[in-house]
Chain A
Amino acid sequence: VENVRLLDRVSSRKAALGTLYLTATHVIFVENVSETRKETWVLHSQISSIEKQATTATGCPLLIRCKNFQVIQLIIPQERDCHDVYISLIRLARPVKYEELYCFSFNPKLDKEEREQGWKLVDLNEEYNRMGIPNNYWQISDVNRDYGVCDSYPTEVYVPKSATAHIIVGSSKFRSRRRFPALSYYCKDNNASICRSSQPLSGFSARCLEDEQMLQAIRKANPGSDFIYVVDTRPKLNAMANRAAGKGYENEDNYSNIKFQFIGIENIHVMRNSLQKMLEVCELKSPSMSDFLWGLENSGWLKHIKAIMDAGIFIAKAVAEEGVSVLVHCSDGWDRTAQVCSVASLLLDPYYRTMKGFMVLIEKDWVSFGHKFNHRYGNLDGDPKEISPVIDQFIECVWQLMEQFPCAFEFNERFLIHIQHHIYSCQFGNFLCNSQKERRELKIQERTYSLWDHLWKNRADYLNPLYRSEHSQTQGTLHPQMAPCNFLYKFWSGMYNRFEKGLHPRQSVTDYLMAVKEETQQLEEELEVLGERLANLQKLQLNGNKVNSKQQDRSKQLGLSASSNSIANTPQEYSNDLKSFPSRSPSQGDEEDSALILTQDNLKSSDPDLSVNSDQESGVEDLSCRSPSAGGCLPSEDSGKDSDEAVCLAV
């Protein structure tokens, strides 16, 4: 469709004219301006809603909201075209079969072997070995080998040595969806562990001997402690309501040596609404400070983030400081339980704060334990009530921790944002389906590629320059504060307003420091070369020979750090009154404009200095991974230029 206008969300008066293309996998908007031909690519799987608004004089507006928080507003001149686009997109954004998803057609030009290697990057058996398991207390169990006990669990689960198959099966029958207690994290130093399960089917009075034995076995696997915590991550009221349906929570009287604890994290429906409310706040056009803060509070989002974090802090404290094992569950044990276990692991073990470790953590607590990615993130057309930003919240918890502990994480904010993006993009097979069983049936590993491999290859983009493995913040357990005035939970504009670049700091400390570090590395190399040459020269000089010298261009290297230091240098709309002078003297603004272009280059998903590498490696891969976010960096709000709609100041 031609002559489509793409509206700028920040400054409504500015729009780009261009052509809209629909392909099998993407919506593509190409600007008409000949020298730039800026492209905006949106994956169909990223589309969360499409709204056709009332036709106006200028055309028919179409609003596309994406799961990565991009909002695209198009105006299509002909209503009929708009309707066609609308209908097509509705169909394209709601695939019904897995085979329609992008990952089955996405081909980064890797051969079979490379693909298999990619899938092997994260190996959970290796991870349990790293924790020191199997050992005297824990062993791998094959009770679920054909998904015979629990179809949403992995085939290999780690359980206490004293838990026999009989106990496991018995316990599984007493738990929702047969998700019996299994090991999530084990602390070598003091034998304390984090186990996870679903709620017990206790109703008002039911008991299960095997389940009681199971918990006993978990306690015994930690000889240093005479009790375990059972943490129910639900609000007490919700848990009690579940009893009426024959589910519920552990009765302390029936289980020997447990301490039961509720931690009120709300359910997926509350979280979905909360995010919805927060996004509405993000979308407000020029909100006042009060509008924004009030809306943020009213959405409850940060309160929920804090609740998840508090639960993680509680568990980490129990394990690290008290040396007590913890069993965590919610209702089904695949949402809140996953959040809380992974936050606790992240606080406890520095390994999970490395890039590789973080991949392992998501693979362990989310992918392998049957977090329902397909349902929660709406990859296939399904029940909208199943959709909820569960892992988004976990990712935000990590970001909040990064803000408080800037040296503790090997990866940077971009890493988190790209993971979030790909959870929805369906470009890689990692997060397809609802369980390991479904993924195996679909032969995901043979037919798609692994995100972890992709991120790992581009890891230079995702490094935190402040991370040093020997730094004190990278050792041991993190101890965040609890009160909001001590641990300031912030609104994450880098995520929820990530496509409004105008709102973000115009200079990135991370990129700057990365460029400096890269330059440092080059200097180190050059130093070595120079040293050698000097030594040679001195030696040769004795012999009266001349050395052929190649002077390296120094200025090129200096340019490195300077280029990372560019700025989006345009004013916002600071006043609605400032439209009275139509002319803008032509002599000004040249420098600023050039700076702006520079920035847009820089704002691509990967640093320009670094993206060169990936270009060479695999052109296609780079194109497809860069386009979704690169296309998004359009808002260049330059209200100084705007002079249409001139409203004279009324005095």
Chain B
Amino acid sequence: MEFAELIKTPRADNVVLHRPFYLAVEGTLCLTGHHLIFSSRRQDNAEELWLLHSNIDSIEKRFVGSLGTIIIKCKDLRIIQLDIPGMEECLNIASSIEALSTLDSVTLMYPFFYRPMFEVAEDGWRSFLPDQEFELLSSVTDEWRLSCINKEFSVCPSYPPVVIVPKSIDDEALRKVAMFRHGSRFPVLSYYHKKNGMVMMRSSQPLTGTNGRRCKEDEKLVNATLRPGKRGYIIDTRSLNVAQQARAKGGGFEQEVYYPQWRRIHKCIERFNILQESLIKLVEACNDQSHNMDRWLSKLEASNWLTHIKEILTAACLAAQCIDREGASVLVHGTEGTDSTLQVTSLAQIILDPRCRTIRGFESLVVREWLQAGHPFQQRCAQSAYSNSKQKWEAPVFLLFLDCVWQILRQFPCSFEFNEHFLVMLFEHAYASQFGTFLGNNENERSKLKLPQKTMSLWSWVNRPEELGKFKNPLFEANSLVIWPSVAPQSLQLWEGVFLRWNRPSKFLDEAQEEMINIIKYNRELQAKVNALRRQLAELETDDRMQENL
């Protein structure tokens, strides 16, 4: 057994666990193949801590005499400290944790071993299929078709097997367009705005290169989404400068001459390592226990995290505005079309489409616009804010998206069916999970790993009524309108629920949440009672009348 080899000391007694805002607890530490388990042996209420090895971002060890201390920093930003008596035990445990938390092979990850303790009512792997989505679409328009061109992932490795494209474009043309787009990510439908029939598409950059290559099929495809006489917007998530530089590497952007009906707008959303550094700096600021206000604000500012939030939200609002207010169709892309592009298209849908603000609809959005659209979760979420090994693929792209959703949720607290915990839960599972949903970088890899057969879907678990209750927003009242968030700096705030989650006592805020739930629950109960009484009364009265008539 491979794991056993890595675990030299499976168990240590008299270990002391330290966490902020909790008293230190003494107990037993156990290591298993996938978990670090700490359980206090106190009789009254045995406390247990289960930590997935894959949740561990980095560990540090310190020694004072023979007492070893391990500080564990997690991807969910929590920091815990374990005091372990005995130098050897401590070293063994530390090296085991290190090895187990950095396993190379995906198939060794916990989701492949996890056996759920609950009965699966609905298989989450089959909850959100493209066919269902297309069915919804075809009930309102017949201008689009489902193409199976990517069935074997042969055209575009990062696209799902089926995609929605304009009806007038055949697969042959799509193949040509794929050659003209970075990573073969040809333009596909992202969102159809029922109100005015405008659409949002996404793709990667066109491969114009320095000599201004063009592709007639690409132009045709892009234009096929326009109504006669109408124009559209191309939102390039890079600055003009960056887009121009991309030409030297074979990339580029759509030139006016070839796309005369389109107007291009450049927005500047940062990428990869800049975002990762921003996260690292922000978390560092949030863990600074000093009492100095100036230092806190300047660190917050220097992290640029909120600047990124503002940029992403602004671009998304712009896309939504083009569609809803200008009555124009929109094409969004950056370079690869797997990161900032998806942030923009998914946030724009939250603004425009009330369905995306429900739990089910939001899950579907995450599946469509992130998982199926090929956001490389495994690469991006391999490490979080505490990691020292800087590989270049990590970036908190999805976390930024969730943060933006939280910002909108904060501004429209009654318009979302889910609450903050739901978003925090998605953040946790994107980085470390017992479920297979966020494994792999695209549908191609997921299908090769046979995830639907071998692992449990996060949605199978979340959508059980027992779990859903925790994630419901008590204030929710369906709101069919477009919601326009404010992107002014005064309106954007640090997401305390994630970044200060482990640093502040949450008791008072949790209590407030509980109060809200109780107020609304009581109201609903009364409503039910009143309705029941009314019915009873009405029945009695009709009885009465009938008696009288007799």
Chains A and B come from one and the same complex: yes
Q: Which residues of A does B touch, CB under 8 Å?
A: 282, 286-294, 296-297, 300, 302-303, 306, 310, 404-408, 465-466, 468, 471-473, 481-491, 493, 497, 500, 502-507, 509, 512-513, 516-517, 519-520, 523-524, 526-527, 530-531, 533-534, 537-538, 541, 544, 546-547, 549, 554, 561-562, 565, 567-572, 574-575, 577-578, 580-581, 584-585, 587-589, 591-592, 595, 640, 649, 651
**Chain B residues in 8 Å Cβ range of A568:** 484
**Chain A residues in 8 Å Cβ range of B520:** 513, 516
Can you list 30 contacts pairing A with B, beta carbon distance less than 8 Å? A286-B488, A290-B304, A292-B490, A297-B301, A300-B294, A405-B508, A406-B508, A407-B508, A408-B508, A484-B292, A485-B503, A502-B488, A505-B410, A505-B411, A506-B411, A506-B412, A507-B413, A509-B413, A509-B516, A520-B519, A520-B523, A531-B533, A534-B537, A544-B547, A546-B548, A571-B317, A589-B325, A591-B480, A591-B481, A592-B482
When the two chains form their complex, are residues A289 and B310 in contact, meaning their CB atoms are under 8 A apart? Answer: yes
When the two chains form their complex, are residues B533 and A565 in contact, meaning their CB atoms are under 8 A apart? Answer: no
When the two chains form their complex, are residues A483 and B508 in contact, meaning their CB atoms are under 8 A apart? Answer: no
**Chain B residues in 8 Å Cβ range of A547:** 541, 544
- Which residue from A306, A523, A527, A588 sits with its C-beta under 8 Å from B195? A588
When the two chains form their complex, are residues B526 and A493 in contact, meaning their CB atoms are under 8 A apart? Answer: no
When the two chains form their complex, are residues B297 and A293 in contact, meaning their CB atoms are under 8 A apart? Answer: yes
**Chain A residues in 8 Å Cβ range of B317:** 571-572, 574
Please, what's the 1-or-0 string for B523-549, where 1 marks a CB less than 8 Å from any CB in chain A?
100110110011011001101110110
Distance from B526 Cβ to chain A, minimum over Cβ atoms (Å)? 4
The CA-CA distance from A493 to B505 in the complex, in Å, is 24
Residue of A nearest to B541 (CB): A549
A-B CB proximity, top 3 nearest: A292-B489, A640-B325, A406-B512
When the two chains form their complex, are residues A485 and B288 in contact, meaning their CB atoms are under 8 A apart? Answer: yes
**Chain B residues in 8 Å Cβ range of A530:** 530, 533-534, 537
Residue of B nearest to A526 (CB): B530
Distance from A192 Cβ to chain B, minimum over Cβ atoms (Å)? 25
When the two chains form their complex, are residues A578 and B515 in contact, meaning their CB atoms are under 8 A apart? Answer: no
Residue of A nearest to B531 (CB): A554
**Chain A residues in 8 Å Cβ range of B195:** 588
The CA-CA distance from A651 to B253 in the complex, in Å, is 11
Kindly state whether residue B464 has any CB partner on chain A within 8 Å. no
Kindly state whether residue B66 has any CB partner on chain A within 8 Å. no
**Chain B residues in 8 Å Cβ range of A533:** 537
Residue of A282, A288, A481, A571 with most chain B CB atoms under a 10 A cut-off = A571
When the two chains form their complex, are residues B297 and A302 in contact, meaning their CB atoms are under 8 A apart? Answer: yes
Distance from A286 Cβ to chain B, minimum over Cβ atoms (Å)? 8
Distance from A141 Cβ to chain B, minimum over Cβ atoms (Å)? 39
- Which residue from B196, B482, B536 sits with its C-beta under 8 Å from A534? B536
When the two chains form their complex, are residues A571 and B500 in contact, meaning their CB atoms are under 8 A apart? Answer: no
The CA-CA distance from A205 to B276 in the complex, in Å, is 60
Kindly state whether residue B286 has any CB partner on chain A within 8 Å. yes
When the two chains form their complex, are residues A497 and B529 in contact, meaning their CB atoms are under 8 A apart? Answer: no
When the two chains form their complex, are residues A290 and B307 in contact, meaning their CB atoms are under 8 A apart? Answer: yes
When the two chains form their complex, are residues A565 and B523 in contact, meaning their CB atoms are under 8 A apart? Answer: no
**Chain B residues in 8 Å Cβ range of A487:** 504
When the two chains form their complex, are residues B263 and A580 in contact, meaning their CB atoms are under 8 A apart? Answer: yes
**Chain B residues in 8 Å Cβ range of A493:** 490-491
Distance from A324 Cβ to chain B, minimum over Cβ atoms (Å)? 22
Distance from A319 Cβ to chain B, minimum over Cβ atoms (Å)? 21
Interface residues of B in 291-336 (CB under 8 A from A): 291-294, 296-298, 300-301, 304, 306-307, 309-310, 314-315, 317-318, 320-322, 324-328
When the two chains form their complex, are residues B477 and A565 in contact, meaning their CB atoms are under 8 A apart? Answer: yes
When the two chains form their complex, are residues A572 and B326 in contact, meaning their CB atoms are under 8 A apart? Answer: no
**Chain B residues in 8 Å Cβ range of A513:** 475, 516, 519-520
- Which residue from B296, B304, B534, B540 sits with its C-beta under 8 Å from A485? B296
- Which residue from A291, A466, A483, A489 sits with its C-beta under 8 Å from B512? A466
**Chain A residues in 8 Å Cβ range of B413:** 505, 507, 509, 512
When the two chains form their complex, are residues A541 and B544 in contact, meaning their CB atoms are under 8 A apart? Answer: yes
Kindly state whether residue B290 has any CB partner on chain A within 8 Å. yes
Kindly state whether residue B18 has any CB partner on chain A within 8 Å. no
Kindly state whether residue B104 has any CB partner on chain A within 8 Å. no
Kindly state whether residue B165 has any CB partner on chain A within 8 Å. no
**Chain A residues in 8 Å Cβ range of B458:** none
**Chain B residues in 8 Å Cβ range of A527:** 526, 529-530, 533
Kindly state whether residue B93 has any CB partner on chain A within 8 Å. no
Kindly state whether residue B479 has any CB partner on chain A within 8 Å. yes
Residue of B nearest to A310 (CB): B291
Residue of A nearest to B477 (CB): A565
Distance from A314 Cβ to chain B, minimum over Cβ atoms (Å)? 12
**Chain B residues in 8 Å Cβ range of A519:** 523
Kindly state whether residue B137 has any CB partner on chain A within 8 Å. no
When the two chains form their complex, are residues A485 and B481 in contact, meaning their CB atoms are under 8 A apart? Answer: no
When the two chains form their complex, are residues B325 and A571 in contact, meaning their CB atoms are under 8 A apart? Answer: yes
**Chain B residues in 8 Å Cβ range of A549:** 537, 541
**Chain B residues in 8 Å Cβ range of A293:** 297, 300-301, 306, 489
The CA-CA distance from A574 to B322 in the complex, in Å, is 10
Distance from B35 Cβ to chain A, minimum over Cβ atoms (Å)? 29
Distance from B521 Cβ to chain A, minimum over Cβ atoms (Å)? 10
Distance from A303 Cβ to chain B, minimum over Cβ atoms (Å)? 4
Kindly state whether residue B32 has any CB partner on chain A within 8 Å. no
**Chain B residues in 8 Å Cβ range of A587:** 196
Residue of B196, B515, B534, B543 with most chain A CB atoms under a 10 A cut-off = B515
Residue of B nearest to A493 (CB): B490
When the two chains form their complex, are residues B414 and A512 in contact, meaning their CB atoms are under 8 A apart? Answer: yes
Residue of B294, B306, B486, B548 with most chain A CB atoms under a 10 A cut-off = B486
The CA-CA distance from A407 to B520 in the complex, in Å, is 16
When the two chains form their complex, are residues B414 and A581 in contact, meaning their CB atoms are under 8 A apart? Answer: no
The CA-CA distance from A580 to B262 in the complex, in Å, is 11
Please, what's the 1-or-0 string for B402-416, where 1 marks a CB less than 8 Å from any CB in chain A?
000000001111110
The CA-CA distance from A90 to B290 in the complex, in Å, is 47
Distance from B405 Cβ to chain A, minimum over Cβ atoms (Å)? 15
- Which residue from A300, A466, A569 sits with its C-beta under 8 Å from B482? A569
Given known A-B contacts A291-B489, A303-B293, A488-B494, A585 and B196 have beta carbons under 8 A apart: yes
When the two chains form their complex, are residues B293 and A484 in contact, meaning their CB atoms are under 8 A apart? Answer: yes
Residue of A nearest to B543 (CB): A541
Kindly state whether residue B44 has any CB partner on chain A within 8 Å. no
The CA-CA distance from A562 to B476 in the complex, in Å, is 11
Distance from B437 Cβ to chain A, minimum over Cβ atoms (Å)? 31
Kindly state whether residue B172 has any CB partner on chain A within 8 Å. no
The CA-CA distance from A326 to B249 in the complex, in Å, is 71
Interface residues of B in 263-287 (CB under 8 A from A): 263-265, 267, 285-287
When the two chains form their complex, are residues B484 and A571 in contact, meaning their CB atoms are under 8 A apart? Answer: yes
**Chain B residues in 8 Å Cβ range of A570:** 484
Residue of B nearest to A406 (CB): B512
When the two chains form their complex, are residues A507 and B504 in contact, meaning their CB atoms are under 8 A apart? Answer: no
**Chain A residues in 8 Å Cβ range of B530:** 523, 526-527, 530
Residue of B326, B411, B487, B523 with most chain A CB atoms under a 10 A cut-off = B523
When the two chains form their complex, are residues B481 and A569 in contact, meaning their CB atoms are under 8 A apart? Answer: yes
**Chain B residues in 8 Å Cβ range of A531:** 533
Distance from A580 Cβ to chain B, minimum over Cβ atoms (Å)? 6
The CA-CA distance from A592 to B410 in the complex, in Å, is 20
When the two chains form their complex, are residues A520 and B522 in contact, meaning their CB atoms are under 8 A apart? Answer: yes
Given known A-B contacts A505-B410, A530-B530, A287 and B489 have beta carbons under 8 A apart: yes
When the two chains form their complex, are residues A578 and B265 in contact, meaning their CB atoms are under 8 A apart? Answer: yes
Residue of A nearest to B512 (CB): A406
Distance from B476 Cβ to chain A, minimum over Cβ atoms (Å)? 10
Distance from A115 Cβ to chain B, minimum over Cβ atoms (Å)? 37
Kindly state whether residue B231 has any CB partner on chain A within 8 Å. yes
When the two chains form their complex, are residues A516 and B544 in contact, meaning their CB atoms are under 8 A apart? Answer: no
Distance from A579 Cβ to chain B, minimum over Cβ atoms (Å)? 10
Distance from B386 Cβ to chain A, minimum over Cβ atoms (Å)? 16
Given known A-B contacts A290-B307, A570-B484, A577-B265, A297 and B318 have beta carbons under 8 A apart: no
When the two chains form their complex, are residues A571 and B196 in contact, meaning their CB atoms are under 8 A apart? Answer: no
When the two chains form their complex, are residues A503 and B484 in contact, meaning their CB atoms are under 8 A apart? Answer: no
Distance from B231 Cβ to chain A, minimum over Cβ atoms (Å)? 7
Residue of A294, A306, A506 with most chain B CB atoms under a 10 A cut-off = A506
**Chain B residues in 8 Å Cβ range of A526:** 530
